Structure 1
Amino acid sequence: MTSQPVRFAAVGLDHAHIFGQIAGLLDAGCELVGLATDDPDASVAKQVREKYPDARVFDNPGDLIEADGIDLITTAAVPDRRGPIAVQAMQAGKDVVTDKPGCISLDQLEEIKKTVAETGRFWSVTFSERFGVKCVTKAGELVRQGRIGKVVQTLGLGPHRIGDRAHLAGGAGRPEWFYDKSRYGGILADIASHQIDQFLWFTGSTQGEVVSSTVGNFANPDTPGLQDFGEILLRSESAQGYIRVDWYTPQGLPTWGDGRLMILGTEGYIEMRKYVDIAGRDGGNHLFLVDQEGTQYVDSSDVELSYYADVVNDVRNRTETAAPQEHTFETMRLALVAQQNATLRGAAQ
């Protein structure tokens, strides 16, 4: 195996998730060799350049994608650009790590699947609400140990706050594309892809079915392009799932959203409050386990997160340790089908 670091470039600096992607790859021993984006004046793009002043800045994203000596492209571009960036990168011989949603239409997904098959490159979507949350990793360990029996249902809640400063990288407000469904893809394609990923992973399902889906705009009628509420009912051959996502987090909560995940098993259940335990313990990563022996609060602080190290392993060894490619395809397929077939409520478009 080569001892040379995996060399990567960040193409598309529109969402603050790019900070975590770059930091994760650097922590895994990778080398950042270039930056490029469609909108260099975006708040996120400015801060990325300030944070990594030694990285070469390319004026044209396509030139950086085609440049020699790069193994991996990571992107948090405006969602409608993520699919085309990924396809070009794979055709140029690079693997891809993209923010969610990895694409915004079933046509884009088919193009990505075709490109993966033709090039042998991989397309990994960073479902950070699983890959980057210690209590979720811990819950996976407990489920695999059989602590709650057979998993028959997941209930995932993904509330967000429109004005959250961290997601805006200190910007004055959400950019215009945030209110344009044709650019961000819709609330189910975007946010709910996290919960779909967790449904498939915790239930051990390789395929799923969207039973019903709804999107609404109940609080922001002046911006009907914003879908501020969404829900999905899922099922597979072995399990059921319910998902609710929204943009209603009140200012009184000390973080951007009270993300929660409940896993129901035949012999117990697990609840996670990922980012806050309201009126309870400080910090995040709160995991509660109920089984035949009693109730337990499980400390997840010593859990190691392996996603970016696994990505590096996959680049070097052509494996699928970070996430099976078919799992990523199915997660985004379900999200896009749910979005495409959703009933519209309120002012939603």
Structure 2
Amino acid sequence: MTTSTVRFAAVGLDHAHIHGQVAGLIAAGAEFVAMATDDPAAAIAVQVRERYPDVPVVDDPAALIARGDIDLIVTAAVPDRRGPIAVAALRSGKDVIADKPGCVSFSQLEEIEKAVAESGRFWSVTFSERFEVRSAIKAGELVRAGKIGTVIQTIGLGPHRIGDRGHLGGGAGRPDWFYDKARYGGILVDIASHQIDQFLFYTGSRTAEVVASSVGNFANPDKPGLQDFGDLLIRSENAQGYIRVDWYTPDGLPTWGDGRLMILGTEGYIELRKYVDIAGRPGGDHVFLVNHEGTQYVDCSDVQLTYYADLVNDVRDRTSTAAPQEHTFETMRLALTAQQQAVVRGAAQ
């Protein structure tokens, strides 16, 4: 392992997930050297500049990507821009960390795969609902320890709130691109990629197929570009999965969404209440384990999050410890497939 400092730049500051990405990389020892974005007036871009006033702002994103003194590009641009930014960065000899979804079309995914192959650099998509959640890491440890036998199914629920303050970045509402399917990719690409990532990971599946999928708009008929509901069935050689995502989180819930994951094994099951235990224990990261030994509440407070540290080491050492490249490709392929094949219902376009 080398000890040289990894230098990174942020290109695309449109989604609040950039805050976690930048903070994670800095905590892992990387140096934040510059930033650029298509829309400097975006609420999130303003926040990033305020949080890191000493980091230079470059007017031209393409010029920043081309610089030779940068190892890594991180992006949380508008989703349809993440693919082109990644391809440009890869072809400039840089590794890439993209917010999910990493791309919004099969053509973008094909270009990214080609650029990865030709450059020898990696493209990682930040599936934060696993990488940045202690309970999700703990569940993986329990599965690998054989606590519930062989995993045969996952049920992943990903509810969200349109008006969540943290995601608005101080803005008055969601930006226009949030309601434009061509820009955010559709709800199964945008959100369900999280749950597809988790299905593949917990079931140990290298590949899978989409059995059925649907999307709809049932609560926002004045915004037909918004898909406010989506679900899908997924199947691999050894496991099955059901995924449901939506934008219906009520204002009464004290967080942006009651994200849940249920992992069924041949000898027990695990349930995660990632962000809230409604009318129960305070805080997040609640894990419940049921097997032949009984029922157990699992404390996750000492679980280490390693995604960003692993990424920094992968840049230095040319390894693939944070997330296997083929896993990331397969996750986005399945999300795009589910979106493309989805039955469209309600007011959704």
- Residue 170 of structure 1 deviates from its aligned partner by 1.6
In the alignment, is residue 116 of structure 1 matched against residue 116 of structure 2?
A: yes
Q: TM-score, normalised by structure 1?
A: 0.99
- Match for residue 78 of structure 1? 78
In the alignment, is residue 208 of structure 1 matched against residue 243 of structure 2?
A: no
Residues paired across the two proteins, number: 349
Matches within 5 A, 1:24-103: 24-103=24-103
User: Secondary structure, in 3 states, of the residue corresponding to 1:112?
Assistant: helix
- Match for residue 311 of structure 2? 311
Matches within 5 A, 1:270-309: 270-309=270-309
Structure 1, gaps ≥5 residues long: none
- Match for residue 153 of structure 2? 153
User: Secondary structure, in 3 states, of the residue corresponding to 1:143?
Assistant: helix
The aligned amino acid for 2:130 is R
Contact between 2:4 and 2:316, CA under 8 Å: does it hold in 1?
Answer: no
User: Secondary structure, in 3 states, of the residue corresponding to 2:129?
Assistant: helix
Instruction: Give me the whole-angstrom Cα distance separating, in 2, the residues matched to 1:319 and 1:149.
Output: 30
- Residue 47 of structure 1 deviates from its aligned partner by 0.7
- Residue 218 of structure 1 deviates from its aligned partner by 0.1
- Match for residue 224 of structure 1? 224
Contact between 2:263 and 2:269, CA under 8 Å: does it hold in 1?
Answer: yes
Instruction: Give me the whole-angstrom Cα distance separating, in 2, the residues matched to 1:214 and 1:3.
Output: 48
Structure 2, gaps ≥5 residues long: none
- Match for residue 174 of structure 1? 174
Instruction: Give me the whole-angstrom Cα distance separating, in 1, the residues matched to 2:2 and 2:70.
Output: 15
Instruction: Give me the whole-angstrom Cα distance separating, in 1, the residues matched to 2:290 and 2:314.
Output: 36
Over the aligned positions, Cα root-mean-square deviation in angstroms equals: 0.5
The aligned amino acid for 2:28 is A
Instruction: Give me the whole-angstrom Cα distance separating, in 1, the residues matched to 2:201 and 2:290.
Output: 20
The aligned amino acid for 1:61 is P
- Residue 2 of structure 1 deviates from its aligned partner by 3.8
User: Secondary structure, in 3 states, of the residue corresponding to 1:56?
Assistant: coil
Instruction: Give me the whole-angstrom Cα distance separating, in 2, the residues matched to 1:4 and 1:192.
Output: 36
- Residue 284 of structure 1 deviates from its aligned partner by 0.2
- Residue 34 of structure 1 deviates from its aligned partner by 0.4
Q: Deviations over 1:105-153 (max 9, x none)?
A: 0110000000000000100000000000001100000000000000000
In the alignment, is residue 5 of structure 1 matched against residue 22 of structure 2?
A: no
Of all paired residues, the percent bearing the same amino acid is 76
Q: Deviations over 1:32-86 (max 9, x none)?
A: 0000000000000001001101111000100100012100000000000000000
The aligned amino acid for 2:29 is G
Q: TM-score, normalised by structure 2?
A: 0.99
- Residue 243 of structure 1 deviates from its aligned partner by 0.1
